[in-house]
Amino acid sequence: MTVALDIRVLELLCSRLCHELVSPVGAVNNGVELIEEMGADMADEAMGLIAHSAQQAARRLQVLRLAYGAAGTDASSFGEVRTAAANYLSGSKIALEWPAGVLDDALAGHRGFAKVLLNLIIMGEDALAYGGTLALVGSGGTVTVSARGRAAALKPDIRTAFDGACAPGDLSPRTVHAYATGRFAENYGLSIAPSETPDRLDLQLSIAA
């Protein structure tokens, strides 16, 4: 099955990518300006700011490269995705529970599986506005991303976008990720089943029958 993405969707995905990068890249620029204005007296502090911000930008780029680009489509294992997700969430209010070997790498061999899984991790992060835990478990041919924390849930507009029940023109930078995740899954022959209980959102990913 081939799913086409509207130009509006591509524009919004680019907007999200730029939003993810503008803060750390801006901080790098601030560090350079600090050195230029204050000289050697502020060099150590400025270099610390530059190094931290550059690492943050690199972590976000790695995740978005795998989630939105071609790089995540043909993964042979979950290793790179696991490392990228851990680095992306490092230092945030969200703890990632993804022990090495907990998922069967044979699933990653299905085209697009690892890519969609990473997109679900980002959806889980978005659902944890107050922080919490993202836990991954595998059983048979399925993987579940479980977001646990205060008010963990998909907002109604996010769920509508994820289901593809809205026109591309009605999407926003906040909802476009969920929309793209749903369409990626359809394109790669995958099924995503969301379920919610108080303070918990489960996103189950499997190969469609």
Separation in Å, CA 160 to CA 20, 179, 182, 198: 23, 8, 10, 20
Output the pLDDT for position 3.
56
Output the pLDDT for position 194.
97
Separation in Å, CA 63 to CA 29, 42, 81: 22, 32, 8
- For 13, list phi and psi in degrees, rounded to 5: -65, -40
Output the pLDDT for position 23.
74
Biggest CA–CA distance in the chain, Å, is: 64
Residue 145 domain flag: yes
Residue 140 domain flag: yes
Task: Quote the CA–CA distance of 30 and 50 in Å, as a whole number.
Answer: 8
For residue 138, give its domain range: 7-207
122 neighbors 66 (Cβ within 8 angstroms): no
Residue 2 domain flag: no
Residue 1 domain flag: no
Give the strands of the sheet with 142-148, arranged side by side.
94-97, 132-139, 142-148, 200-207, 190-197
Q: Which two tokens stand for residue 75?
A: 């993964």
Looking at the structure of the chain, the number of domains it has is: 1
Output the pLDDT for position 15.
75
**What's the pTM value of the predicted model, to 2 decimals?**
0.85
Residue 77 domain flag: yes
Output the pLDDT for position 119.
95
Residue 16 domain flag: yes
Q: Which two tokens stand for residue 116?
A: 């969609």
User: Which residues fall within 8 angstroms of residue 185, CB to CB, at 6 or more apart?
Assistant: 112, 116, 191, 192, 205
Output the pLDDT for position 16.
77
* Sequential pLDDT tens for the chain (209 residues): 555 567 677 778 777 777 777 777 676 677 777 677 776 666 777 777 777 777 878 888 888 888 988 888 988 889 999 999 999 998 889 999 999 888 988 899 899 999 999 999 999 999 999 999 999 999 888 999 999 999 999 999 999 999 999 988 899 989 999 999 999 999 999 999 999 999 999 999 999 87
Instruction: Return the CATH number at 61.
Output: 3.30.565.10
Q: What DSSP assignment string belongs to 183-209?
A: HHHHHTTEEEEEEEETTEEEEEEEE--
